[in-house]
Structure 1
Amino acid sequence: MSEQDNTQQPPEKKEKKSLSLNVVSNKEHKGFGAGTIDLSAVSCVMIDNGEAYIDVGAMHAKSKIERGIKFSANKEDVPNGRLCWIVWVAVDRTEEGASYAGATACPMLIDTEARRGWKILAQHVNNLDYAIKRRYVLDELGVEEKRALKNLLVSNNPEWWDRSPDKLKEALEV
Structure 2
Amino acid sequence: MSSDQSSNKKKNNFTIIKDDSTDGHGGYGAGTISLENMSSIIVDPNEDKAYVDMAAMHARSDVERRVKWINDREEVQGGKLYWIVWVTVDKNENGPYYAGVAGSEIRVNREIKRAYKSMAEHVKHMEKSLKGHIIVEHMDDHSKKLLGDFLRDYKPELWENSTEELTRQLF
Bin for the TM-score computed over the shorter chain: 0.7 to 0.9
1:152 is matched with: 150
2:79 is matched with: 81
1:14 is matched with: none
| 1:135 equivalent among 111, 133, 136 | 133
Q: Secondary structure at the match of 2:62?
A: coil
CA 1:19–1:117 in 2, change beyond 3 Å: closer, same or farther? farther
User: Are 2:36 and 1:34 aligned?
Assistant: no
User: Are 2:120 and 1:122 aligned?
Assistant: yes
User: Are 2:20 and 1:18 aligned?
Assistant: yes
Structure 1 residue 19: Cα displacement: 6.6
Give the Cα separation in 2 of the matches to 1:114 and 1:102: 34
Q: Tell me which moved more, 76-85 or 152-161.
A: 76-85
Structure 1 residue 118: Cα displacement: 0.4
Q: Secondary structure at the match of 1:39?
A: coil
Q: TM-score, normalised by structure 1?
A: 0.80
Aligned AA (2:138): E
Deviations 1:87-127 (A, max 9, x none): 10000034532100000011111012221100100000000
The percentage of counterpart residues that share the same residue type is 36
Give the Cα separation in 1 of the matches to 2:67 and 2:139: 23
| 2:41 equivalent among 45, 51, 65 | 45
Where does structure 1 lack aligned partners over 5 or more consecutive residues?
1-16, 21-29
Q: Secondary structure at the match of 2:36?
A: helix
| 1:63 equivalent among 61, 64, 73 | 61
Q: How does 1:96-111 map to 2 (within 5 A)?
A: 96-111=94-109
Structure 1 residue 142: Cα displacement: 1.2
Q: TM-score, normalised by structure 2?
A: 0.81
Structure 1 residue 170: Cα displacement: 1.2
Where does structure 2 lack aligned partners over 5 or more consecutive residues?
1-18
Structure 1 residue 73: Cα displacement: 0.2
Give the Cα separation in 2 of the matches to 1:139 and 1:131: 14
CA 1:18–1:116 in 2, change beyond 3 Å: closer, same or farther? same
Q: Tell me which moved more, 76-85 or 123-132.
A: 76-85
